[in-house]
Amino acid sequence: MPVRLRGASRDAAALSTACTYVGPHSWFANPFKAGDSAPSPLGSPMDAAEAVDLFADTLRSPVGRCYAARFARALRGRDLMCTCPLDVPCHTDVLLRIANDYGDGDTIRTCNFPGRPAMSHPIMFAAAKHLTTAEEQRTAAREKAFRTWGPRSVAAASKYARRLLGDEAVTLDWEVLSLLSFEEHLQAFALLDTVGGQHLELYYTDQGGTERILLRVSCVSCPSQHMHEVTSLEQLVQLLSLTPAWPSIDPRDGGNL
């Protein structure tokens, strides 16, 4: 039965024509080495057994199985030599199994340490990294939205008010609501007056690209409030004429509208 040996390439050539060197710089070498970073989100250094596990897992992939079949044809019946100490996990164990099909149901198995769990396939790490990166990008986007939500709300309210109510709307002092909205629901308000026991303020909202300004009339000493959508300066005048503030602003009564 073919066995694993330790030595350099020249030793394999001198020892026997039935011995093949599979160590570093050979066609059969393990591209993963102890000390390399594991292909995982954490990227911690691998030990020898993990490097062997990753070699075996790679050969289980669709492309890797093509290489495994070629390795099996080239190495069947031959002793295999590598520079690894015999008491250290080595990919030679995997190659021996591939080449000689020991019939244990898993010819592409890790090194002869059955108690050690195999590493997941590299594509799983790649998928996990992609998921982690996407989540980090979403988190960063939300944090940016959180920081800029207030200024964006005020700027949008000011711009829309001028378009809806005319240039006089530039005098409105828009403020951010104390409650932060979720996603892209922009909100702001501008206090107009407090008279006759009522607060009068304009409320701006942009939800899903639909902008609106509403006149909010709320009671100073009770929870009652009424909301009326504002569609033009003329309509705002009509709404204000129904409030206690109207006598002080009605031009016909000496007010300053």
Work out the pLDDT band at 62, boundaries 50, 70, 90. confident
Residue 188 vs residues 2, 82, 213: alpha-carbon distances, Å = 79, 71, 10
> Is the overall model pTM greater than 0.95, yes or no?
no
Instruction: Look at residue 115 in the predicted model and tell me its pLDDT.
Output: 43
pLDDT at 232: 93
Exposed (0-12), middle (13-18) or buried (19+): which is 137, by Cβ within 10 Å?
Answer: exposed
Encode pLDDT of 149-176 as tens digits.
Answer: 888 889 999 999 999 999 989 999 998 8
Using 50, 70 and 90 to split pLDDT, how confident is the model at 193? confident
Residue with tokens 């000689």: 100
Q: Let me know: does 79 contact 18? Beta carbons within 8 Å.
A: yes
Residue 215 has pLDDT above 60, yes or no: yes
Q: How far apart are CA 132 and CA 199, in angstroms?
A: 48
- The pLDDT score that the predictor gives to residue 183 is 54
Q: What percent of the chain has pLDDT over 90?
A: 26
Does the pLDDT at position 230 exceed 90?
yes
pLDDT of residue 180 exceeding 60: no
Report yes or no: 99 and 71 within 8 Å, Cβ to Cβ.
yes
- Alpha-carbon distance 68 to 23, whole Å? 16
Hey, what amino acid is at 132? T
d(CA 110, CA 116): 9
If one compares 211 and 145, the residue with the highest pLDDT of the two is 211
Helices and strands (H and E) in the chain: how many: 7, 8
Span 10-58, pLDDT tens digits:
776 667 678 899 999 888 999 888 888 766 655 678 889 988 988 888 8
pLDDT of residue 177: 74
Classify strands 186-195 and 79-82 as parallel, antiparallel or unpaired.
Answer: unpaired
Q: Of the given ranges (163-167, 183-187, 236-240), which has the lowest mean pLDDT?
A: 183-187
Sheet of 19-21, strand order: 4-6, 79-82, 19-21
pLDDT reading at 243 higher than 60: yes
Instruction: Write the CB contacts of 103 (distance below 8 Å, at least 6 apart in sequence).
Output: none
Reference 41, options 144, 118, 120; nearest CA is 120
| Per-residue pLDDT tens over the stretch 92-147 | 999 999 888 754 444 555 444 444 444 445 555 565 566 667 777 777 777 776 77
The confidence score (pLDDT) of residue 210 equals: 92
Alpha-carbon span 202 to 76, nearest angstrom: 83
